[in-house]
Amino acid sequence: MSAPESVADPSEAPRRALVREITASGALDGEPAWAEAFGAVPRHLFVPFYYRPAEQGGGHERLWGEDPDPGRRAEWLRGAYADEPLATRVRDGELISSSSQPSLMATMLAELGVRDGDNVLEIGAGTGYNAALLSHRLGDGRVTTVDLDPEITESARAHLAAAGYHPAVVTGDGARGCPERGPFDRIIATCALTTVPRAWLAQCGPGARILAPLATGLIALEVRDVGRGEGHFLASPAYFVPLRGGDRRDAEAPYTGGLPRWASRHDRFRFLLALTAGRLDPQEALALWEREHRPQRERFGITVDGEHMWAWLDDPEGPYAWALP
């Protein structure tokens, strides 16, 4: 008598499909360790429910894995492995937490440049999925994730445990880092910033790398010395839930009054407006952008040097530089 067949894991096929899709996007070129991590970590355990815009009446509808309707459960599972961001917490109509688009996560993890033995700090625990990917790659003891909201850290910790991962999950102000777990070789933020907290640089040694969303872009800072870092933006646009905490400065949407419609809607030009908010008016920004041949994000960078922090185009000491908060 043959042994009974094991029950198939319904997430296996969509998980493999997600890895193929991320790989096809180019986000994992030359990164087999991250491809293996995305194939191994079950994303659906980190999004037991999520929200999407309701088809009628506005607001959001909730999809969840325990829905009594098998069709809705299948829809939830497909969505969990789609290469799309998922809204996981909505409070008073405002999105406060999400699971990022996997291909963007893959881009960020690849650009983080981790090495075996690196100690990594993640700012913004979210669902815990990103911390699980890091833990799979580096080991639990090398990963710390911080979030201000105790509800978020509690659920992230539970999701991580359900998937078999146990990194340090800390409730605290991410803008202040986590000095008791440092020093760090890599810091990655999964929330949007308006400035780079100096506490992060103080918790890194020379050669460390900080990757964070800022002004709808992704800045990759190389730490040169205590309190000094410099780097360029990546080509990828990035839109994240804002950082909440002591260093938060709410970023307003760039003012685009008086601009041609095409300019006000152009993603790269809006990036320049966000980066230079309060330093250039829209007309000045448009003139600069046209004069410099509509520069890509990668031509821009940021320097942090002690108490001074500035954004720049092409050269930190060049003619185009703007002080940051």
Give the pair of three-digit tokens for residue 40: 């191994």
Q: Is the peptide bond before 42 cis (omega within 30 degrees of 0)?
A: no
The DSSP code sequence of 160-228 is HHHHT---EEEES-GGG--GGG--EEEEEE-SBBSS--HHHHHTEEEEEEEEEEETTEEEEEEEEETTE
Tell me the mean pLDDT in the region 300-307.
94
Give the pair of three-digit tokens for residue 170: 């800390």
Burial class (CB in 10 A: 0-12, 13-18, 19+), 286: buried
Res 15 pLDDT > 90: yes
Every domain range in the chain assigned CATH 3.40.50.150: 12-232
β-strand pairing of 321-323 with 308-313 = antiparallel
Task: Locate all alpha helices (DSSP H) within the chain, ordered by sequence.
Answer: 12-24, 32-40, 70-80, 102-112, 129-138, 150-163, 198-202, 261-264, 267-275, 282-291
Average pLDDT, the chain: 90
Among residues of the chain, what percentage have pLDDT more than 70? 93
Q: How confident is the model at residue 7 (pLDDT cuts 50, 70, 90)?
A: low
Of 49-53, 276-280, 301-305, highest mean pLDDT: 301-305
Tell me the mean pLDDT in the region 108-125.
96
pLDDT at residue number 1: 39
pLDDT at residue number 103: 95
C-alpha–C-alpha distance, residues 115 and 137, integer Å? 9
CA angle 255, 259, 265 (to 5 degrees): 75
pLDDT at residue number 174: 95
Q: How confident is the model at residue 255 (pLDDT cuts 50, 70, 90)?
A: low
pLDDT at residue number 4: 42
Q: What is the pTM of this model?
A: 0.90
Among the listed residues 38, 186, 182, 167, the one whose alpha carbon sits nearest the alpha carbon of residue 112: 186
Res 322 pLDDT > 60: yes
Q: Which amino acid is at 21?
A: E
The CATH number of 12-232 is 3.40.50.150
C-alpha–C-alpha distance, residues 307 and 325, integer Å? 10
Read off the DSSP letter of residue 274.
Answer: H
Residues 194, 175 contacting (CB under 8 angstroms): no
Range in 73-87, 105-119, 243-257, 260-274 with the lowest mean pLDDT: 243-257
2 is catalytic: no
pLDDT at residue number 257: 59
Burial class (CB in 10 A: 0-12, 13-18, 19+), 279: middle
Res 153 pLDDT > 80: yes
Tell me the mean pLDDT in the region 210-236.
94
Of residues 6, 11, 25, 97, which has the active-site annotation? 97
C-alpha–C-alpha distance, residues 89 and 93, integer Å? 10
